[in-house]
A = this chain, B = another copy of it.
């Protein structure tokens, strides 16, 4: 599963009630089109799908004042909130070497209580280390790692990446434990959504690096 469901659920949740274009705009504001598959088609598809599955509630709305086709507004349901929290927690904990998942979860990490966030991140570290141990053992032939030839470099890459992931996670834990950011139940939350009509300072980024995708 991709990061799209978490992103869309989280965006709708932050608005309370949102139509597709609003979600699309938020995700662009977060730069999500750069590090995830948050393209129009995927977003609208996810909205419809999750509405069908009872995670969102769809309201048909009269055509907007600002031109274009009739809109549909979505609201998150009980089940949707539960799914959102499940996705959020599991993406924070699990090491699946998919950066988009982690990035998406990171964007909503403050929706959890501070203590839980730290706890989950510690589990993440433990998980990565366990993965590292098992993978290095498993893929080391008896005749020594030379037997793998250049294929061994793939494992080398994984391990290097895993180590970097541990280091980064440890840093984040320290920052959170040190009091950074505002978490659930700590008053005025940080909201990364655009107010109606606010301009997007990070609008579609032709301005910066073409990243050769």
**A residues in contact (CB < 8 Å) with B:** 30-31, 35, 90, 93-97, 99, 102-103, 106-107, 109-110, 127, 130-131, 133-135, 137-139, 141, 149-151, 153-154, 156-158, 160-161, 163-164, 167-168, 171-172, 175, 180-182, 190, 192, 201-202, 205, 207-209, 211-213
Contact = CB atoms under 8 A, between A and B. Distances in A.
Nearest to A162: B164
A27 to B, nearest CB: 12
B160 A164 contact: yes
A50 to B, nearest CB: 21
Contacts of A180: 150
User: Mostly helix, strand, loop or mixed at chain A's interface?
Assistant: helix
Contacts of A30: 151, 154
A168 B161 CA distance: 9
A107 B151 contact: yes
A157 B212 contact: no
28 contacts: A30-B151, A35-B97, A35-B154, A90-B212, A93-B212, A94-B211, A96-B213, A99-B161, A106-B150, A106-B153, A107-B151, A130-B209, A131-B209, A134-B208, A134-B209, A135-B209, A138-B209, A139-B202, A141-B201, A150-B190, A151-B190, A153-B172, A153-B175, A156-B168, A157-B168, A160-B164, A161-B168, A164-B164
Contacts of A207: 138
How many copies of this chain does the complex contain? 2
A102 to B, nearest CB: 7
